[in-house]
Chain A
Amino acid sequence: MKVPEIRPPVELVVASGKGGVGKSTLTAVLALTLAEKGYRLVAVDADAEAPNLHLVLGVEEWSRVDEVREGRLAYILDDRCTRCNICAEVCTYGAVEVKDGRYTINPYICEGCLTCSLACPPKAIRYRFRVKSGEIRVAETHYGFTLVSAETMPGRPNSGKLVTEAKNLGKKLLGPSGVLLVDAAAGIGCQVVSSLTGAQLVVLVAEPTLASLSDLKRIHKLTKHFGIAPMLVINKYDLNIDTLPLIEEYAEKENIPVIGRIPYDPSVPKAMAEAKPITVYDPDSPAAKAAKSIANHIAENVLPHWRAWWAKYRPRKPEPYVPIILRPGQDNSRKHA
């Protein structure tokens, strides 16, 4: 197969809502397959609070590490503090703690929003600026493509900003054509929003559990806000055969093509322990074969004609995000308003 030049680059995100369903395992196989077939490719680990893709890919050293120092951290000057408690009242995050009559700010919670310092009557609150919020790292993998990985400092906010910066670096390294492959975080918060912003295609990964189905619905709704065309992979599909139809029914109802099912396979954790993608650790294992055929399908049938794919499976009607704003004297807070 002649690999098409994808210009401008396409952004393909692997996401799931629920954690631990196999995003990084699948992303690794997909990246290897695309690289093998000759696609220009940069992989981005966009799970800055729990980055793991480099471990699956066996990355041993980073060729580049950029510190990101965008954080702000409030602290209280005790000799100026009048114990008025206003900072504790205004902090949205509950970061102000009182211990033995002393007011302190928990550095693992503080967002650096400045509100407490603006509200403090005796001006007793100062900020440390340029606090390290995390790192963005680059590695050349053993498999012929570049990995960009974001990692936040434990307990620090705004991991979404790091993800955006990691993606921007990934795009820069990729250049004018190719595939940006993004491994998203669990959940539907700022990191995932940053991962999906600007993407055209998403591979949703689910397992046949009620929990995964619930999270799938939420992440799918988010991808609809962004007008992204989804496809679904069901992992560990044989662990709970009775819940499998619920996932498939949802996919059918929502026009999400199911592009593959991966069986539960004890080789997967063993491959992780060896820091190898499953298709390298044991190419003949059932999970490796299934993941490989999914990756081949994406490489051969989706990406070469991604615009047609997008047109076929994009959300039928736009479902933009609509904020619920309450004006004084108005109550439209109910969910089904």
Chain B
Amino acid sequence: MPPALVAAVTGGKGGTGKSFVATNIAVLLSRQLELLLADLDVEAPNDHLLLGATRLENEEPIAVFFPLIDYNRCTACGACAKACDTGAIVMARGTPPMVMPRLCSGCRACLYACPYNAISSEGRRVIGYTYSTPIRRSGGFRLVTGLLREGEEHTPPAVVAAKRRALRETPDEGLLIVDTGAGTGNSISAAIQEAELVIAVTEPTPLGLHDLKAILEIARGMGKRIWLVVNRAGIAGHEKHVELAKAYGAEKTFLIPFDPQAARSYARGAPAVEECPACPASKALQELAQALLAEAREKGVKAK
């Protein structure tokens, strides 16, 4: 059964506090709800560290298609190289094609383009791993993590693989919280695809504002509902951020004040809402979690 609600935490700029927000609200909501947290920042996954998990568990390889060419059948016609969008199949005139593994995205275009059945459909390449780690904090929940191998450059297939595992392992009628990476490309849109609600985390600087706009563009274009979170509120003005998000139809705004004590708990890998529940940042996170809890109840997310 699919999750009753999928909420995605994203933001565009790096270091705005996406993982900080996602891990803390997961910890808070796990007391009341059946939920799963998915760390889809496959290039730099850190949620397990922020939750104090010492190791990732239940490894599964992310195996994407890889063209293995049968040179007995290949006529060097060039159809595969022509179909390849990433330039992974190189061919000098009249010589058989060669595949550059790093460039290959695993899309299978060559497989379907080859008129001679010279490409096996069974070749695979491991571009990363997914993990499913039980987090024994608070009410307890499962963390699914995607990890891209160093040297691989095709992020979206790894995001999709981790997302599919998260959807599969979310408790029936549960809540799925997705944490995305930095950026505004299609690896981010792939991560938020199933989400009904996008929680955009920004920082009160012109840099945060610039990248927030791109994320709001995607979220609105994909028909998502939007909530805005301004993290480290107070270090500079955030009026423009709030105004911009409203123009994109944001329903709610939450301000998390800059809070050195919360930052220290983040650095050590302990959720601020557990370490110092009375900290100003924790209070704001509780408010966000309450709003999400109300939303989840309305959608019929299963209670614990």
Interface residues of A (CB under 8 A from B): 17-21, 24, 48-52, 55-56, 72, 90, 92-95, 106-115, 118-119, 152, 154-157, 159-160, 185-190, 192-193, 207-211, 214-215, 218, 221-222, 225, 239-240, 242-243, 266, 269-270, 272-273, 275, 321, 323-328, 333-335
Contacts and interface: CB of A to CB of B under 8 A. Distances in A.
A72 B85 CA distance: 9
Interface residues of B, number: 86
Nearest to A218: B150
B236 A52 contact: no
Interface of B: 12-16, 19, 41, 43-44, 46, 49-50, 59, 61, 63-66, 68, 83, 85-86, 101-102, 105-109, 112-113, 120, 122-126, 129, 148-157, 160, 163-164, 181-190, 193, 203-207, 210-211, 214-215, 217-218, 221-222, 232, 235-237, 260, 263-264, 266-269
B108 A193 contact: no
A208 B237 CA distance: 26
A155 B183 CA distance: 9
A193 B190 contact: no
A155 B188 contact: yes
Contacts of B150: 188, 218, 221-222, 225, 321
Nearest to A321: B151
Contact of A24 (B43, B153, B164, B207): B207
B157 A272 contact: no
A208 to B, nearest CB: 6
A337 to B, nearest CB: 9
A221 B150 CA distance: 7
A250 B59 CA distance: 25
Given A111-B186, A156-B185, A333-B63, A18 B44 contact: yes
Contact of B266 (A94, A187, A209, A325): A209
A18, A154, A269 interface centre (most CB from chain B within 10 Å):
A154
Nearest to A328: B122
A324 B128 CA distance: 10
Contact of A50 (B163, B182, B186): B182
Nearest to A322: B151
